[in-house]
Amino acid sequence: MSRNLFQILSALAAGITFGFGLSLSGMLNPARVQGFLDVFGAWDPSLAFVLGGAVLVAFIGVQVMKRLRHPAFDDSFHLPANQRIDAPLLIGSALFGLGWGIGGFCPGPAVASLSVGIPQTVLFVITMLAGMALHDRLWSKKP
C-alpha cells in the first residue's frame, strides 16, 4: 500500500474514533454542552470529565511526539510556527467561546452531528464554514 493511502486510512480511523468519542460523551447534544456552560444555573458538570480526558490524551500524545523524529506517515510534524499570544488569538478565542455557548457546538462535534440530520446543525455548519471562508479571505496572510 502506498504512503498516501496509509495517511488517508489513518486519518479516517482517527476521525471515526474521534466522532464516536464525541457521540459517546454527549458532546453532540447542544443542550448538554450549554448545560455545562451554565455555571450559574442548572450546571451539568459531566462534560468536565470529557474535557479532562481530552487534556490527558493530548498531554500523552505531545509527550510521545517529542520522542519521535517524525510521524509514521509523514516526513515531519506540522506544528504552528507562531506561539505568540496576540490580539487576533484572544479575539478569536472569545468568538469561539461565544459561538460554543450560543450554538452548543464547536467545529468537531458540529460536523459529527451532521450524521444525526438535525436542520439546525446543517445551518450551524454552513455558517461556520462561511465564517472560516470569510476569515481566510479577509485576514489570512497571503503567501
pTM of the model: 0.69
Assess whether pLDDT exceeds 60 at residue 54.
yes
Amino acid 35: pLDDT: 87
Please compute the mean of the pLDDT values over residues 36-42 and round it to a whole number: 86
Amino acid 52: pLDDT: 92
Q: What is the C-alpha separation between 68 and 76, in angstroms, rounded?
A: 10
Other residues' Cβ atoms within 10 Å of the Cβ of residue 97: 12
Amino acid 120: pLDDT: 83
Q: What is the C-alpha separation between 123 and 114, in angstroms, rounded?
A: 10
Q: Domain total for the chain? A: 1
Amino acid 142: pLDDT: 57
Q: What is the C-alpha separation between 8 and 11, in angstroms, rounded?
A: 5
Taking only the tens place, the pLDDT of each residue in 61-91 is 999 999 999 888 788 888 888 888 999 889 9
Please compute the mean of the pLDDT values over residues 37-41 and round it to a whole number: 86
Does the residue 143 lie in any domain? no
Does the residue 126 lie in any domain? yes
Q: Rounding to the nearest 10 degrees, give the CA dihedral for residues 109, 111, 113, 117.
A: 170
Taking only the tens place, the pLDDT of each residue in 90-121 is 998 898 888 888 888 888 888 888 888 778 88
Contact 88, 80 (CB under 8 A): no
Does the residue 36 lie in any domain? yes
* Residue 23 belongs to domain spanning: 3-138
Assigned C-alpha cell, 109: 462535534
